[in-house]
């Protein structure tokens, strides 16, 4: 046993000495703009509106730091979620997409409206929620997308439904959780940026809660009988209260689509 351990260590040493013989790794570049993340404290109980419901108002950044984390020095913790129960044809369709095709269908790349839940899932920028007891206003910095939902609200009658990028949203409170149920979503929107498309029968149910002053949590359930074998529910995503305002972010000069199309043509030529 001891001989085996020594042998393993000797083998590891050979690999390590070989690695050590290479050029030493360069030190990290210290640059203005890199962010060393500091997690916000809970901040006490959440504020409440005049009607007693939790007030979700605030500028909310993805992650726990209350600020932009695009250039964070610590990778995001991966979300632990169940596999998405795609029907076989849908799984095959997504799998067959090249990386370039996937980018060309992603609303964050093409500057199309992000939809629901794309406003959460395909958007790395902050959100601003403005609430009154009768209104939920959701503004996002990404290409200045927005939606407004009355509280509470029922869906429009079926004969009045039409495809919309932000869909038709019904709203209600379940205790301290705001529930938003959206149907009639335009099929050009995606559920996630990984190619997860949806059908005209999709229903997205978002749940928003504010467990403490500094944190917002968002979960969504997708029901789509034409694409999924059963409903799928996301993990709770964490957002934290920022002290900055949203900034202007209009998409006015998108060169990426042309660049990706050139790449797509090269890929097709190589097939």
Partner 1 sequence: MDILILKSLTEVFSMKATIAIILGLVVLLTPAPAPAHHAFAAEFDAKNCADITGVLTKVSYENPHAYLFVDVKNTAGQPEETTFQLSSTSNLRRGGATFPVLNASVGKEVLVRGCAARNGEKSRYAASFIKLADGIIQRVGQDVEGIFGTKIWR
Q: Is residue 20 a contact residue for partner 1 (CB under 8 A)? A: yes
Q: How far apart are CA 21 and CA 10, in angstroms?
A: 16
CA dihedral 93, 113, 183, 147 (to 10 degrees): 160
Q: Please select the residue that binds partner 1; options are 78, 88, 157, 175, rule is CB under 8 A.
A: 78
CB contact set of 211 (below 8 Å; sequence gap of 6+)? 42, 46, 217
- Between 98 and 229, CB nearer to partner 1: 98
Locate 17 and state its tokens. 């000495």
Per-residue string for binding with partner 1, 189-228, x by CB under 8 A? ----xx----------------------------------
Q: Is residue 109 a contact residue for partner 1 (CB under 8 A)? A: yes
Q: CA-CA distances (angstroms) from residue 260 to 89, 104, 114, 195, 257?
A: 26, 7, 19, 16, 5
Q: Please select the residue that binds partner 1; options are 44, 52, 75, 157, rule is CB under 8 A.
A: 75
Q: How far apart are CA 248 and CA 142, in angstroms?
A: 9
Q: Closest approach of Cβ 9 to partner 1, in Å? A: 7
Q: How far apart are CA 71 and CA 12, in angstroms?
A: 35
Q: Please select the residue that binds partner 1; options are 132, 199, 229, 254, rule is CB under 8 A.
A: 254
Helical (H) or strand (E) element with 92? helix 88-95
Q: Is residue 38 a contact residue for partner 1 (CB under 8 A)? A: no
Q: Please select the residue that binds partner 1; options are 9, 41, 79, 231, rule is CB under 8 A.
A: 9
Q: Which stretch binds partner 1 (CB under 8 A): 47-55, 66-74, 180-188, 227-235?
A: 66-74
Q: CA-CA distances (angstroms) from residue 176 to 29, 92, 173?
A: 45, 40, 7
Per the CB < 8 A criterion, the answer to whether 179 and 205 are in contact is yes
Q: Is residue 5 a contact residue for partner 1 (CB under 8 A)? A: yes
- Binding region for partner 1 (CB under 8 A): 2, 5-6, 9, 12-13, 15-17, 19-20, 26, 28-35, 67-68, 70-76, 78, 99-100, 102-103, 106, 108-109, 111, 125, 141, 143, 193-194, 244, 247-256, 259-260, 262-263, 266
């Amino acid at each position: 046993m001891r001989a085996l351990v020594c042998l393993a260590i000797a083998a590891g040493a050979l690999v390590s000495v070989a690695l050590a013989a290479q050029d030493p790794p360069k030190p990290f570049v210290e640059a203005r703009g890199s962010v060393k993340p500091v997690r916000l404290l809970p901040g006490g109980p959440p504020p409440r509106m005049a009607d007693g419901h939790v007030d979700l108002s605030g500028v909310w950044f993805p992650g726990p730091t209350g600020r932009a984390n695009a250039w964070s020095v610590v990778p995001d913790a991966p979300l632990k979620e169940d596999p998405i129960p795609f029907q076989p044809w849908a799984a095959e369709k997504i799998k067959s997409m090249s990386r370039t095709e996937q980018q060309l269908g992603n609303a964050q790349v093409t500057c199309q409206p992000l939809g629901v839940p794309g406003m959460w899932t395909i958007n790395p920028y902050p959100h601003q929620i403005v609430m009154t007891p009768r209104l939920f206003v959701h503004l996002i910095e990404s290409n200045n997308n927005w939606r407004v939902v009355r509280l509470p609200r029922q869906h429009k009658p079926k004969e009045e439904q039409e495809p919309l990028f932000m869909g038709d949203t019904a709203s209600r409170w379940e205790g301290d959780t705001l529930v938003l149920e959206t149907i009639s979503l335009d099929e050009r929107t995606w559920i996630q940026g990984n190619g997860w498309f949806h059908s005209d029968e999709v229903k997205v149910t978002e749940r928003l809660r504010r467990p403490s002053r500094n944190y917002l949590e968002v979960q969504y359930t997708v029901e789509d009988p034409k694409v999924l074998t059963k409903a799928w529910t996301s993990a709770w995503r964490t957002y934290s209260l920022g002290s900055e305002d949203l900034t202007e972010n209009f998409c006015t000069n998108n060169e990426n689509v042309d660049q990706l199309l050139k790449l797509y043509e090269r890929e097709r030529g190589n097939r």
